[in-house]
Amino acid sequence: MMQKQQAVQMAVLGAGAWGTALAISYARSGHQVTLWSRDEAHASAMRTELRNTRYLPEAPLPADLRITSVLADAVSGADLILIVTPISGLRGTLQAIAPCRQADTPVFWACKGFEAHTRLLPHQVVKEVLGDIPCGTISGPSFAREVALGQPTAVTLACASLNLATEWVQKLNSPRLRLYATDDMVGVEVGGAVKNILAIAAGVADGLALGYNARAALITRGLVELTRLAIRLGARQETMMGLAGLGDLVLTCTGDLSRNRRVGMLLAEDKPLDEILAQLGHVAEGVPTALETDRLAQSLGVSMPITAAVCRLLRGEAKTQDVIADLLARAPAVE
């Protein structure tokens, strides 16, 4: 018989779709959750409607989910702080919680990507702002809508300390949102970042109706690119075969709920990027991440032709048909 978990007092910072989904899931599991939105009008609407109409209208909010726009109130007394902003908002959120966070309170995040201009992974940003603190990242094959509706999902929790990861997996694991522990933070974060770029490429292939064979080839060769970069940055190869690597890659490249795949499908229509992002209405992390990853790969001498091709499209340097033709014309290689 599974031992009953002790309730965790948790601050979820960021009331987009993914932050809301995690807040719903953990509140439903019996934890004491406060969801923070930086916009008081948004927070007030969620309190009134018991629904995040702006980002996740399908899922009702639990009646005992606390919602606030006051950051200090959310963080005060928390056993765990979980940051679920886009990567562009991570540094600012860390700086904002620094004065009110208790020194021993772990900080986890579900941000994916490389920080713009610095090309730092999230754990490196955390170290720059808060120093060496107990911290970790949550990543894996997960659509917010399905998590919020209680559909079974499995993700990875990575901490520098495997003991810390294991401790919190035991505290947060539930039948509907299963967690697996690892100490390969680099591998988990690179997997979460690069899979969004490859999802854009998969969307282009699907938008051009290139077929399932092409999609399978793209995912497989994309996994090679992802693994090359991850290992170059210090990750372990086996991590890339797990939930945070292959698992997240397959989901994001094939699922209709993938925003990054949707970007690729619209690029296949040769629509301008600004128009695509306005139509999307949500953040597609693969767009800024692609540009930073391409620069990083070039500086490290890592071959990432699919990522480079996506960047040509995002920069408006080529049409989709030309980019696909260039990829198909690459010289044969040994696998």
Residues with a catalytic annotation lie at 195
Start-to-end CA span in the chain (Å): 47
Q: Which residue has the tokens 């500086």?
A: 299
* Contact (Cβ atoms closer than 8 angstroms) between residue 79 and residue 105: yes
* Contact (Cβ atoms closer than 8 angstroms) between residue 244 and residue 192: yes
Q: Which two tokens stand for residue 2?
A: 């599974």
For residue 148, the Cα-to-chain-centroid distance in whole angstroms is 16
* Residue 123, helix vs strand vs coil: helix
Q: State how beta strands 51-52 and 9-13 pair.
A: unpaired
Partners of 180 in the β-ladder: 156
Taking the CA atoms of residue 72, residue 78, residue 84 and residue 89 in that order, the dihedral angle to the nearest 10 degrees is 30
Residue 285 and residue 292: Cα distance in Å, rounded? Answer: 11
